[in-house]
A and B are shown apart, each in its own frame.
Chain A
Amino acid sequence: GQNIDQPTEMTATEGAIVQINCTYQTSGFNGLFWYQQHAGEAPTFLSYNVLDGLEEKGRFSSFLSRSKGYSYLLLKELQMKDSASYLCAVRDLDYQLIWGAGTKLIIKP
């Protein structure tokens, strides 16, 4: 079957760095997405990886290793507004997105 694993919840301190991991087992791989979802709101697109390596976008970076079925989202200089759920999604062989359950990130002052 297809499976996306992320930690359920993480806690970090304002100003610090946090890494959210995602491992996947899917029927084929056609890219990996990270989305941010604030409570009660819609998911919003953060990043996309299709090749191995690091993609940097401001305070957020995303890494992919296809051979290990592994990705992480790195958030630097954490701000209170970064408190949200972070969703990992993999596009499979049929080009449909398979979603993880999300990681709830709690930022403490």
Chain B
Amino acid sequence: IAGITQAPTSQILAAGRRMTLRCTQDMRHNAMYWYRQDLGLGLRLIHYSNTAGTTGKGEVPDGYSVSRANTDDFPLTLASAVPSQTSVYFCASSQGYNQPQHFGDGTRLSIL
């Protein structure tokens, strides 16, 4: 079934550790996005990529990095996790920047 796969589904991580959240899509969408979702707040954009080889910063990029080596994969890395990064992380993709975004099932991350 075509779609977006995120891994892991959930993770508990000690503060200071490095963590990479994986995101893979098989729809050949050009644009990909990483959001975090916290209770009482809307989805907030962390980083995005309009096409393979390019990335951009969203609303809350500090403490996170991304890469887009190919069309399908868009990993998100926390270089040194802090408790404020405890959240649900969603990866999304769209055919173009003016098309609806399709979301993965999310990664629930807890930083202790």
Which residues of A does B touch, CB under 8 Å? 4, 30-31, 33, 41-45, 48, 87, 89, 91, 95-102
B102 interfacial by beta-carbon distance below 8 Å = yes
* Closest B residue to A102 using CB positions: B42
Looking at B19-27, B43-51, B67-75, the stretch in contact with chain A turns out to be B43-51
Known: A91-B98, A95-B97. A42 touches B42 (CB 8 A): no
B53 within 8 A of A: no
Interface assignment of B104: CB less than 8 Å from any CB of chain A = yes
| Nearest CB in chain A: distance from B110 CB, A | 15
B39 to chain A, nearest CB (A): 9
> Which residues does chain A contribute within 8 Å of B34, judged by CB atoms?
none
A41, B98: Cα distance in complex, Å: 24
CB distance from B12 to the nearest CB of A (A): 17
Contact partner of A96 among B45, B105, B106, CB < 8 A? B45
Q: Nearest Cβ in chain A — how far from B44, in angstroms? A: 7
Measured CA separation A103–B37 after assembly (Å): 14
Pairwise interchain contact B102-A45, C-beta atoms closer than 8 A? yes
Q: Is the CB of A44 within 8 A of B103?
A: yes
Q: How big is chain B's contact interface, by range?
A: 10 to 19
Given contacts A48-B100, A95-B98, A96-B48, contact A42 B43 (CB under 8 A): no
The distance in angstroms between the C-alpha atoms of A89 and B106, with both chains bound, is 19
The answer to whether B105 and A42 touch across the interface, beta carbons within 8 angstroms, is yes
| Min CB–CB distance A101 → chain B (angstroms) | 5
19 example contacts (A-B, Cβ-Cβ < 8 A) are as follows A30-B98, A33-B100, A42-B90, A42-B103, A42-B105, A42-B106, A43-B90, A45-B100, A89-B42, A89-B43, A91-B98, A95-B97, A95-B98, A96-B48, A97-B43, A97-B45, A99-B42, A99-B43, A100-B42
**Chain B's nearest CB lies how many Å from the CB of A97?**
7
Answer whether A42 and B100 are a contact pair too, CB < 8 Å, given A87-B43, A99-B44. no
B58 part of interface (Cβ distance < 8 Å): yes
Q: Please give, as numbers and ranges, the residues of chain B lying within 8 Å of A87 by CB-CB distance.
A: 42-43
- 0/1 per residue, B74-112, Cβ < 8 Å to A? 000000000000000010000001101111111000000
